[in-house]
Chains A and B, each alone.
Chain A
Amino acid sequence: MKEIKLHNVVPEIFASRVDLRSDIWNREVILERGKRYLIKAASGTGKSSLCSFLYGQRGDYSGTISFDDRDINRLSSSEWCEVRQRSISILFQDLKLFGELTAMQNVEIKNNITHHRDMAQVVQWFEELGIGDKLNTRIDRMSYGQQQRVALIRALCQPFDFLLLDEPISHLDDANSDIMRDIILREAERCGAALIATSIGKHMNIEYDICLNL
């Protein structure tokens, strides 16, 4: 996938707002593979909605979103399945981890369908991110910051052209945030992928190509 195009997209809840001043809503926006985007937003401006729209999780918007000129509303469930395994990876704001599985199992459950990473690489990431001792700990016994790191590792267990990061470091200290940034940049480079990170203030220390205010 080379580009994601947003054409006059407005969330339904904002449809009646006349004072909408945004770089994204109700505009023509093209997100290209290989570039780094930061989407800055105050809370309540529809940041998570944007991620949900791009990931096909929600469809409550007007306008058109297309992947390489294909309207995403036309994608079948098997095409979405393909997109979510090969083209777009996401780090959800609410993480969407499985509480009753261990940290490692949460990563494995993704890697089992993509077979993209070997376990040695996964363990190495756990070590780098300072949670090497938590491999076999149940997710619901871990802190939110630790869970955020597990969710990132899971997101990296697939090939991608776009990596969506919805407030990726909201619960991380600066040191861990930098480690995370290094891993993300390395993997994005390797895949030639675009980074799309959202932030309500605290954001990763990256040189972004484009900064958009939501």
Chain B
Amino acid sequence: MSLIWQLLRKHISIFELAIFFIANLIGMTVILAGVQIYSDLQPMLSGEKSLIGNDYLIITRPVERMGIGTPTFSDEDINDLNEQPFTINLGTFTASRFEVDGSIVFNGQRLSTMLFFESVPDNFIDVKSDKWCFSPGDTVIPIILPRNYLNLYNFGFSQTQQLPQITEDIIKRVELGIRLEGNGKRSDHTAYIVGFSERLNTILVPSTFMDWANSEYGEGEDDGHTRLILEVSNPTDPELTAYLEEHGYEIENKPAESSKALSILEVGAAVIVGIGVMFSILSLIILTLSIYLLLQKNITKLENLVLIGYSPARVAMPYNVMALVLNISVLIISIVAIFIVQSIYTGHISEWLGITLSAIPTTAIIVGTLFTAAIVTFNIFIINRKIREISSRR
């Protein structure tokens, strides 16, 4: 042990340092937990990979009276909506204007039913499949079904009818017969289901197929768009709600509570981090006072060391090292704590959502290191300032 440390450690109050240590540890751990949880959950509630979120709204006009003719959106309506600040992207649904007859052969028996198709631009579709393409002349048509059709069958119908449940893979291998009829023409095609959409509650075909089929078999005039799909950044935007109300539009798929959840997460994280910062500031005040008191108690020794030729920096060194060791210990312990906390909640999240999160609290490590660097810099600054002050007193 160096002589200078032997001299200067006198009057170090273990009690004060312990209070600083505990307060800073709590503060740091709370801050890091806040930022880590936020950084882990935030991507799930926003952005393209939104897991719970749904930033796509399907807009319709209400059916006002019984009769022929469904309410549709005019080009003007669409242009107006397109110009609104909340609109990121706007797509239209195109409905089939021909008869569709779908059939499957089951146990040697042919079962058939009338169907209808709709299409939307590809960038609104949440299913990625390399089979999702069609060019005129192709005989095979790819189809996307709403996921709730499959759920309805598996968890409702099949159970009551003692029928086997079917998986996505099985259903994707089933060949469907499709007969298109209209405009005095008729043709037979094969279709496969290529995926299930969470977002779009309709039987989807590629828009290239729809355009071709409508021009070949379509009857009657194109009577406008009955449904629109709108991409927004915040489905609970009050401006959006007001606009829809004013124009009497309805939202078919009520937005999931994702953006509310996101704001709750943001507020929650801010509150947690705020509490952590308060703890840290308090602990920093305690440490600052403790260091000032310590330097004051050792002032004669500090002065004498400078008088016998020690530089202020050399005299400050033991206290700087002490601040460094204290703060780095706090950082290490709090990161270990975050590591444990994270492993607990990622376990739950994996169970609920079936996704895996990184097992390393990267955000906490980065934020913690920066925070510690800032605190250590501050500590060293006040220690050195005080010692320079003592040594230059004349």
Contacts and interface: CB of A to CB of B under 8 A. Distances in A.
B157 interface: no
Given A78-B311, A110-B309, A56 B3 contact: no
Interface string B308-344: 1111101000000000000000000000000000000
B7 interface: yes
B10 interface: yes
What 5 pairs across the A-B complex have the smallest Cβ distances? Answer: A59-B394, A84-B309, A85-B309, A81-B311, A109-B3
A14 interface: no
Nearest to B312: A77
B311 A77 contact: yes
24 contacts: A57-B307, A60-B394, A77-B311, A77-B388, A77-B391, A77-B392, A78-B311, A81-B309, A81-B311, A84-B307, A84-B309, A96-B304, A96-B307, A96-B308, A98-B301, A100-B10, A101-B3, A105-B3, A108-B3, A109-B3, A109-B7, A110-B309, A112-B3, A113-B309
A158 interface: yes
A110 B391 contact: no
Interface of A: 55-60, 77-78, 81, 84-85, 92, 96, 98, 100-101, 105, 108-110, 112-114, 154, 158
B8 to A, nearest CB: 10
B7 A100 contact: yes
Contact of B308 (A56, A78, A109): A109
Given A109-B308, A110-B309, 20 more contacts: A55-B307, A57-B307, A57-B394, A77-B391, A77-B392, A78-B311, A81-B306, A81-B309, A84-B307, A85-B309, A96-B304, A100-B6, A100-B7, A101-B3, A105-B6, A109-B305, A112-B3, A113-B314, A114-B309, A158-B309
Contact of A98 (B7, B312, B391, B392): B7
A92 B300 CA distance: 14
A105 B301 CA distance: 14
Chain B interface mostly? helix
B293 interface: no
Q: Which of B304, B312, B388, B391 has the most CB of A within 10 A?
A: B304
Contact of A101 (B6, B309, B391): B6
Interface string B352-394: 0000000000000000000000000000000000001001101
Contact of A109 (B4, B10, B306): B4
B394 A56 contact: yes
A96 B307 CA distance: 9
Contacts of A98: 7, 301, 304
B383 to A, nearest CB: 15
B29 to A, nearest CB: 38
A77 B312 CA distance: 8
A57 B312 CA distance: 14
Contacts of B388: 77
Contact of B310 (A59, A81, A154): A81
Interface in B1-37: 3-4, 6-7, 10
Nearest to A83: B309
A101 B2 CA distance: 12
Contacts of A101: 3, 6-7
B389 to A, nearest CB: 11
A9 to B, nearest CB: 15
Q: Which of A55, A81, A154 has the most CB of B within 10 A?
A: A81
B181 to A, nearest CB: 97
A60 B394 CA distance: 8
Nearest to B392: A77
B356 to A, nearest CB: 56
Interface string B251-262: 000000000000
Contacts of B309: 81, 84-85, 110, 113-114, 158
Given A77-B392, A100-B10, A101-B3, A113 B307 contact: no
A77 B4 CA distance: 19
Contacts of A92: 307
Contacts of B4: 109
Contacts of A158: 309
Contacts of B301: 98
A100 B312 CA distance: 21
Contacts of A60: 394
Q: Which of A85, A109, A158 has the most CB of B within 10 A?
A: A109
Contacts of B305: 109
Nearest to A56: B394
Nearest to A52: B394
A60 to B, nearest CB: 8
A56 B306 CA distance: 11
A109 B314 CA distance: 12
B12 to A, nearest CB: 14
A105 B2 CA distance: 10
A101 B3 CA distance: 8
A96 B300 CA distance: 9
A58 B3 contact: no
A114 B310 CA distance: 10
B67 to A, nearest CB: 96
